[in-house]
Amino acid sequence: MTDTATDTTGTAELLSELRAWLGSNWDPDLTVAEWWERLGLAGWAAPGLPVGAYGKAMARSDVVLVQQEIAKFGALGPPAGLGLLLAAPTIATHGTQEQIDHYVRDIVTGQKAWCQLFSEPQAGSDLAGLQTRAVKDGDEWVVNGQKVWTSGGQYADLGMLLARTDPEVPKHQGISYFAFDMLQGGVDVRPLKEMTGHALFNEVFITDARVADSALIGGVNNGWAAANTTLMNERAGLGSGGGNTAGGGLAQPGTVLGFLGKRVGDLVAPAPIAAGNGDGDGGARATRPQQTGGAGALGAMRGGASMLIGLAQSRGVNTDPGIRQDLARLYTLGELGRFNGLRVKAAKEKGGDIPGMPNVAKLSMSQIVRLTRDLGLRIAGPAGMLHAYDVDDKAALKHATGDPFAGGVTEMALFAQAPPIYGGTDQVQRNIIGERVLGLPKEPSNDRVTPFSHLPKNA
């Protein structure tokens, strides 16, 4: 990335302020908790959040630059994960100041890790069809139901819970959004192992669990609005190359994984796995190890062009015209994403926006992921048929193929099916662009007028 391509005066000033701040605050002998407290309270952990919510109201494209600058300095990045990416901006938008000071503070300082309790076995794309119930009991709610696909649920302190609080109104109007304690009786988290060999997500069974009224975000039956804020941040964050999820190095937030008391200098992320080629993607950094299988693969996909150029060179296929063309295509898609980020930033600086851009960004990310998978396997050749699942086998594979990147390519290929699904599938993104941006007619449905309790349901 060239400075001239990205540095507006404001951005350059902020980055120089950041460098000065890092110079006087980074200390590898602090604990992770102490470092994240400094970073978070200074507004550098999540600079995209509003000023009154532990942020600096920076554009998403600048947030990525901040994360890169912290990495370049050699300091540990912000507490990565769904708390920073999704819960914090949602609570900053729909929560009270008291909730911001409680929940968002714990997120930006890494004290608490979050998961997203949205999807259910019968409610994925049709999220508003969810059936988990929350029933009022004094100043608490009693929750019963089942969630699925819950990424990082096994390491989370809190969950963004969507539950039905009124089944007698149309489905979008009877949902509430809670900050839900995952570490209580009545919450059974069962990891699901994927073909990557990792257990990125879980099923979560909730039986008579409790959540306080004070943990209701955005008011009773107003959860759909809050959920949409979460989803928009998810799409924009995934599409922008990580957004707030990037940069946590080897440390993870929250009380479960036990990183908070460790020496921070021991947990700074290693250098990217391939030399940068100036493609502006921040290199092949792992992003969300709690979603690994996962995150390492997705991080590598974001650094796809850099990594695959290195792989093509090492395999001697970098002169193959077809491979060169697809490498150029991959690089171009990355650059288009970066330019779109800059367009959104410029529009927002003028008080406007570009409708549908988070959906476009997410679709483009799916395209990058698929191309990276296909191109990677073509470059790897027969070695792409081999995959190792544990450390010893990975070493043996590396030895047998003589290729340090081979395992990474198959890891990406196995994981490539996931990004086009999570955060809303490609088809759902296209529906949203069609209906909400282009103004095309919605599919005929009585969902918006019929009480949820009267709608037909799957078993």
Q: Which residues bind ligand FAD (CB under 6 A)?
A: 115-116, 118-119, 124-125, 149-151, 200-201, 418, 421-422, 424-425, 427-428, 431
Of 231, 76, 81, 243, nearest to 155 (Cα)?
81
Q: Which is nearer to ligand FAD, 201 or 452 (CB)?
A: 201
Q: Which is nearer to ligand FAD, 221 or 431 (CB)?
A: 431
Structure tokens at 266: 């021991």
Using Cβ positions, the residue closest to ligand FAD within the complex turns out to be: 124
Q: Which is nearer to ligand FAD, 114 or 331 (CB)?
A: 114
Q: In whole angstroms, what is the distance from residue 364 CA to residue 329 CA?
A: 12
- Kindly state the smallest distance separating residue 115's Cβ from ligand FAD, in Å: 6
- Give the pairing type, strands 114-117 and 140-148: unpaired
Distance of CA 1 to the CA centre of its chain: 23
- Kindly state the smallest distance separating residue 195's Cβ from ligand FAD, in Å: 11
CA distances from 326 to 308, 342, 376 (A): 10, 24, 10
Q: In whole angstroms, what is the distance from residue 90 CA to residue 309 CA?
A: 38
Helix (H) or strand (E) holding 205: strand 201-212
Helix (H) or strand (E) holding 377: helix 357-380
Q: In whole angstroms, what is the distance from residue 214 CA to residue 212 CA?
A: 5
- Kindly state the smallest distance separating residue 25's Cβ from ligand FAD, in Å: 32
Q: Which is nearer to ligand FAD, 124 or 223 (CB)?
A: 124
- Kindly state the smallest distance separating residue 10's Cβ from ligand FAD, in Å: 34
Q: Which is nearer to ligand FAD, 103 or 422 (CB)?
A: 422
Cross-strand bridge partners of residue 137: 140
- Kindly state the smallest distance separating residue 86's Cβ from ligand FAD, in Å: 9
Q: Which residue in this structure is represented by tokens 């796995």?
A: 273
Structure tokens at 190: 């069962």
138, with CB counted inside 10 A (0-12, 13-18, 19+), is exposed
- Kindly state the smallest distance separating residue 406's Cβ from ligand FAD, in Å: 23
Q: Which is nearer to ligand FAD, 115 or 357 (CB)?
A: 115
Q: Which is nearer to ligand FAD, 332 or 427 (CB)?
A: 427
Q: In whole angstroms, what is the distance from residue 33 CA to residue 254 CA?
A: 10
Structure tokens at 413: 């290929």
- Kindly state the smallest distance separating residue 208's Cβ from ligand FAD, in Å: 21
